[in-house]
Chain A
């Protein structure tokens, strides 16, 4: 599983990089960016899911590739 941020949906609410700073960072506008672009470990998957369930814009996607 991998995690992805839809840049068109992200509005820089800032929840993902606060909850899971090891997976997400931010760009110079404060929008979320994925730092961990390859396969997620089990622990990382749980963190990604927590970030996803806190994103008000529903901009985080966790996908099987």
Chain B
């Protein structure tokens, strides 16, 4: 948990690691929308938080005044020389135009619906196996026993890493995600064994090209030049950071919702054709990812005097609850027909892995409710939510039979 002093007023002193924000941020954001709607804090070296859909959308689409040089809010203002967080130089998430477009075009074909949909049988088998492992347990953990295994196993498969190394890979995932706001120097130390293992895998793929993402990246070119192994490594880490706790948070939050809303669970079990719209509503209501930008130069935004290198916390989850943008925004409507949610961001940095995330979310829920058509929270008070810019349940005990 955060060691920062408790927040008295989120409008002038917000902190996304404050327990109130971590446990239930939605009333805070609703209050900010009515009062501000752009909150400020002197913490983190100075930061802003637009709480409305319009504010979030304007910042996300404005690459002239806001840079993606670093996208995870750290403890102070990053200097010009600082490595971009969270992953060092790994385009395109920390890139701005015009280079951004080249790096992004290179990555997108690997995550387009065609190749991603081919993964469906693998993901389904993975979910079935995880559920089988639960045996006859009365209480299972929807977080650490289910949601948290699915994305890393899929990413490891996509990268073409050996199945028998999955436990090692899970350890690396843990190091990468837990240390996301560590200072760059410490981070480089933590990364040493990861870099060593990944480089071994990269070399293995150079020697024996395969039909996977690693070989795809090794063959990829930016402006006629093949990517260096360092760039390939950086992109692998990006895929890992961006594709793992984000998706497991969405899966976990959806299971948490179904475990605490029996009427929605019953509808989904009885009307499986609702699944595609339900997935979009899970994504709107429990959008896990908040990004960050830095202000490029002094700039007045919606009446706020932003200074060069101020942070802007880009709350896609807050935008998704704005009543100006969504009818009954504070209600979860499982068959919501019109849903322009922004869970995957907006503009040129739209989540490149969104097709994969949706597929994993849909299959993870389908298989879970197929095996357990009724379930409930075993101990609502025991559920813990992750602190930081990715929100989802970590400990999620679910009673699947009585």
What residues make up the interface of A, taking CB atoms closer than 8 Å to B? 11-15, 17-19, 26-30, 50, 53-58
Taking a contact as CB atoms under 8 Å apart, the answer to whether B338 and A57 are in contact is no
B107, chain A: closest CB distance, angstroms: 9
Residues of the B chain whose Cβ atoms lie less than 8 Å from the Cβ of A54 = 280, 338-340
Interface residues of B (CB under 8 A from A): 105, 108-109, 111-114, 276, 280, 337-342, 344, 346-348, 350, 354-355, 358
Main secondary structure of the interface of A (DSSP, over half): loop
Complex CA–CA separation, A19 to B105 (angstroms) = 25
Question: Once bound together, how far apart are the Cα atoms of A30 and B353, in whole Å?
Answer: 10
A-B residue pairs, 6 tightest by C-beta: A30-B112, A11-B350, A29-B108, A53-B338, A56-B340, A28-B109
**Please, which residues of chain A bring their CB within 8 A of the CB of B342?**
56
Let me know if B112 and A56 touch, CB within 8 A: no
- State the main secondary structure of chain B at its contact with A: helix
> Smallest Cβ distance from B3 to chain A, in angstroms?
37
Q: Which residues of B sit under 8 angstroms from A11, Cβ to Cβ?
A: 346-348, 350
Residues of B within 8 A of A26 (CB): 112-114
Task: For B349, give the chain A residue with the smallest CB separation.
Answer: A11
B-chain residues with CB within 8 Å of residue A56 when the two chains form the complex: 340-342, 344, 346
CB distance from B140 to the nearest CB of A (A): 30
The answer to whether B348 and A14 have CB atoms under 8 Å apart is: no
B114: A residues at CB distance < 8 A? 26, 28
Contact A14 B338 (CB under 8 A): no
Contact of B355 among A14, A19, A27 (CB under 8 A): A14
B350 CB → nearest A CB, Å: 4
Query: Whole-angstrom distance between the alpha carbons of A27 and B111 in the complex?
Result: 12
10 extra A-B contacts, CB within 8 A, seeds A12-B350, A13-B354, A26-B112: A11-B346, A11-B348, A28-B112, A29-B105, A29-B108, A53-B337, A54-B340, A55-B340, A56-B341, A57-B347
